[in-house]
Amino acid sequence: MTRRRVTIVILCWNRWELTRRCLETLKTHTDLGQVDVLVVDNGSTDETPARLREIPWIRVLTNPSNLGYVRGNNAGIRAAEPGSDVLLLNNDVEILQPGWVDSLRAAAHAAKDVGVVGCRLVLPDGRLLHAGTFILPDTFWGQQIGALETDVNQYARTRDVEGIVFACAYLKRELLDVLPGLSEEYVSYFEDTDFCLRAKENGFRTVCCGAVTLLHREHGSTSDAPELFDKIFRKSQATFRTRWKRALEARYTRSVSWQSILNFPTGYAMSCREILRALDAEGVRAAYSYVYGPGTPFPVREPENSGDYLLNVISKRETGRRPPVSVVYGQGDVFLRNKGKTRIGYTMLEVDGFPAEWVKNGNEMDEVWVPSAFNRDGFAASGLTVPARVMPLGVDVDHFHPAVKAFPNPAGDFVFLASFEWGERKRADMILKVFNQTFRRTDPVVLVCKVLNVNKPTQVGRQIEALGLSQAGGRIAFLYNKEFPYHQLGALYRSADCYVSAGRGEGWDMPLMEAMACGLPSIATHWGAHTEFVHEGISYPLRIRGLLPADARAPYYKGFRWSDPDPEHLAHLFRHVAEHREEAVEKGHRAAAEMAAKWTWGHAARRIAERLDAIG
């Protein structure tokens, strides 16, 4: 690996206390033999100049007055050691980990075309401030990725991003030879995104190195003066818009109207959010509209705010009365609300066929998409005559991966985790009984069940006690009706050792995929959509005894069948996993690798984009 010398440029203007902390933490966590530290004093009038003179291991460049962020940093870049890479660092940043420069340098030199490297930035209160940036041509307002989520080590890999904030920016010399500094058309704000976009124009990628996390106090020089901030921001935004409007709009090479559900805690809504984000990253300009509401089986109006900037923008885009291509992503009974010239219905179901109304509506579409061959075959068996295409869903490997923070059982017990809505389909009764009977209370094994129930007549507690479980049997604990923010769910999976999804049938099963992406071995019913991505190499497929009539409250299941998972095999797998932990860990590793290699939302969006291209 290239061990090119690095000049760390720290721009400061007054606020000595911030600069002092930055330099102290830098000295603690940096091999000063490998770097040159250049502090650019932008004309400070407090004790900063005198204090800087007392530090022997830094070089100081003093500007006669405050030149602003852009010109101040450019002075630093020009004064950097010849031939060195440059690492711009804000003085309100603190270093938290050793080896941070090495990691940034390794990311920069991992490929010839990497030009800019940023990192994760966290706030002192533990929230994630930054893991890259994006800017939409709809608003020209730069957004930080992962902004203000609780930090559970999401976005831990090195990944391509549109931009980064320059609070920490590693700039490779090859790029600086082409772009010798930030654009001085900006006083402050937008200059970092502008630089990254110019780097891209010159053939250099920008990446965010998730292995490095720095603390950012965000005590920028204008944050305490909102009027000044607003003035500088608007001026820079206008400059940026003029320069980049056409290029940003050209990022979208296809468009689609997406009619679905977004702002409710349902499976379709959760996956819809991920699909829309991934489509945007794939260059598909999606315009979202709500497909349910009055006159549909879900007659509730949708709240407008998704809590997510990108999704809110996508929701406000106009689709027109008759868009060229529209996808209804939801149950088949709303397919006919599709308003496109080319009409696509995208749905799934947990049983071996589809209701007559869904099939009738499906036959009114130009084509039907389903996530699994299981559903494609079910549609065909139910009489669908238009083409049915398998368009798998995916998993978010930035929030679900093996390095997500865990909260492990302090007693060291092996933890099985099951997560389900209480009901017939998920076989909660079987999972609890089999676990309780397979293990004894004295065994170092526990089962954690995350249970949801929003159906008032269902008394979950009574039903659990009526199962006849034994206090002397395997220990079970419940997380009952707790909803965790989606970005924290990976930490739940990482706090367990094996995930259990032993239900009768699934239309996809995002939680199982998320657990697998987190590196957990899993016991999963080998039927339904599971067969699309579960196999012996990465999981413990649970045998079924056969198929049974799908007897449940859901009207869509009537007349169809689902599986009968084998309780004896489940008992065997529980014990096998608990007794062969190294083997299970290995399967978990392979599961995480396979999820990242084959099943991300990026893969899902790429397939959709390819299909849209083919439709024309």
Partner 1 sequence: MVEADGGLAPLEREVLELRALVRALSERLAAAVALLPRDEAIALARGESGEGGAGGPPFRLTEWHETIEVTRANIAAEMDLLWKRMPPRESA
CB 145 within 8 A of CB 130: yes
Among 296, 363, 409, 531, binds partner 1 (CB under 8 A): 409
Among 9, 167, 344, 446, binds partner 1 (CB under 8 A): 446
CB 550 within 8 A of CB 505: yes
> Can residue 460 be called a binding residue for partner 1 (CB under 8 A)?
yes
> Can residue 523 be called a binding residue for partner 1 (CB under 8 A)?
no
Closest distance to partner 1 from the beta carbon of 471 (Å): 4
Q: Write each residue from 474 to 503 as x if it is in contact with partner 1 (CB under 8 A), else as -, in one continuous string.
A: xxxxxxxxxxxx--xx-xx--x--------
Q: Write each residue from 555 to 574 as x if it is in contact with partner 1 (CB under 8 A), else as -, in one continuous string.
A: ----------------x---
Report the distance separating Cα 188 and Cα 186, nearest Å.
5
Q: Which is nearer to partner 1, 238 or 477 (CB)?
A: 477
CB 216 within 8 A of CB 90: yes
Q: Which letter, b or e, does each residue of 311-335 get, where b requires 16 or more Cβ atoms within 10 Å of its Cβ? A: bbbbbebebeeebbbbbbbbbbbbb
Token readout for 151 is 């930090």
Report the distance separating Cα 492 and Cα 472, nearest Å.
26
> Can residue 122 be called a binding residue for partner 1 (CB under 8 A)?
no
Output the DSSP codes for 285-349.
Answer: EEEEEE--STTSSS-PPPPS--S-HHHHHHHHS---SS-SEEEEES-GGGGGG--SSEEEEE---
Among 24, 47, 160, 465, binds partner 1 (CB under 8 A): 465
Exposure of 159 in the CB half-sphere (CA atoms within 13 A): 16
CA distances to 42, 516, 536 from 394, in Å: 48, 12, 20
Among 55, 96, 123, 469, binds partner 1 (CB under 8 A): 469
Q: Write each residue from 299 to 338 as x if it is in contact with partner 1 (CB under 8 A), else as -, in one continuous string.
A: ----------------------------------------
> Can residue 202 be called a binding residue for partner 1 (CB under 8 A)?
no
Q: Candidates 63-71, 299-307, 451-459, 515-523 — which segment interacts with partner 1 by CB under 8 A?
A: 451-459
Among 19, 315, 438, 600, binds partner 1 (CB under 8 A): 438
Q: Candidates 9-17, 108-116, 439-447, 516-524 — which segment interacts with partner 1 by CB under 8 A?
A: 439-447
Q: What are phi and psi of 591, to 5 degrees?
A: -60, -45
Among 442, 536, 546, 616, binds partner 1 (CB under 8 A): 442
Report the distance separating Cα 341 and Cα 98, nearest Å.
57
Q: What are phi and psi of 286, to 5 degrees?
A: -90, 140
Q: Candidates 59-67, 131-139, 172-180, 440-448 — which segment interacts with partner 1 by CB under 8 A?
A: 440-448
Report the distance separating Cα 195 and Cα 164, nearest Å.
10
Among 203, 320, 461, 537, binds partner 1 (CB under 8 A): 461
> Can residue 160 be called a binding residue for partner 1 (CB under 8 A)?
no
> Can residue 264 be called a binding residue for partner 1 (CB under 8 A)?
no
Among 440, 545, 553, 581, binds partner 1 (CB under 8 A): 440
> Can residue 453 be called a binding residue for partner 1 (CB under 8 A)?
yes
Query: Whose structure tokens read 């450019």?
Result: 74
> Can residue 597 be called a binding residue for partner 1 (CB under 8 A)?
no
Q: Candidates 101-109, 157-165, 377-385, 435-443 — which segment interacts with partner 1 by CB under 8 A?
A: 435-443
> Can residue 470 be called a binding residue for partner 1 (CB under 8 A)?
yes
Q: Name the burial class of residue 466, with classes exposed (0-12), middle (13-18) and buried (19+) by CB atoms within 10 angstroms of its CB.
A: exposed
Q: Which is nearer to partner 1, 306 or 438 (CB)?
A: 438
Question: In this structure, are strands 254-260 and 114-122 parallel, antiparallel, or unpaired?
Answer: unpaired
Token readout for 203 is 């053939």
Question: In this structure, are strands 561-565 and 540-542 parallel, antiparallel, or unpaired?
Answer: unpaired
Question: In this structure, are strands 325-329 and 254-260 parallel, antiparallel, or unpaired?
Answer: parallel
Closest distance to partner 1 from the beta carbon of 441 (Å): 4
Q: Which is nearer to partner 1, 485 or 559 (CB)?
A: 485
Among 82, 318, 454, 582, binds partner 1 (CB under 8 A): 454
Among 221, 239, 361, 436, binds partner 1 (CB under 8 A): 436
Q: Which is nearer to partner 1, 292 or 435 (CB)?
A: 435
Residues 123-142 binding partner 1 (CB under 8 A) are none
Q: Which is nearer to partner 1, 12 or 476 (CB)?
A: 476
Q: Which is nearer to partner 1, 55 or 571 (CB)?
A: 571
Report the distance separating Cα 196 and Cα 37, nearest Å.
23
Among 148, 247, 300, 467, binds partner 1 (CB under 8 A): 467
Q: Candidates 117-125, 393-401, 449-457, 586-594 — which segment interacts with partner 1 by CB under 8 A?
A: 449-457
Q: Which is nearer to partner 1, 109 or 487 (CB)?
A: 487
> Can residue 16 be called a binding residue for partner 1 (CB under 8 A)?
no
CB atoms < 10 A from the CB of 383, how many? 13
Report the distance separating Cα 580 and Cα 127, nearest Å.
37
> Can residue 452 be called a binding residue for partner 1 (CB under 8 A)?
yes
> Can residue 385 be called a binding residue for partner 1 (CB under 8 A)?
no
Report the distance separating Cα 275 and Cα 392, nearest Å.
11
Q: Nearest Cα to 570, choosing from 502, 521, 522? A: 502
First CA to last CA distance, the chain: 45
Q: Which is nearer to partner 1, 454 or 614 (CB)?
A: 454
Number of residues that bind partner 1 (CB under 8 A): 55
Task: Indicate the DSSP class of residue 442.
Answer: T
Q: Which is nearer to partner 1, 78 or 440 (CB)?
A: 440
Closest distance to partner 1 from the beta carbon of 349 (Å): 24
What sign does the dihedral 14-15-19-24 (CA atoms) show?
A: positive
Q: Which is nearer to partner 1, 65 or 442 (CB)?
A: 442
Helix (H) or strand (E) holding 416: strand 414-421
Give the binding site for partner 1 (CB under 8 A). 150, 152, 265, 407, 409-411, 413, 436-444, 446, 448, 452-456, 459-462, 464-465, 467-485, 488-489, 491-492, 495, 571
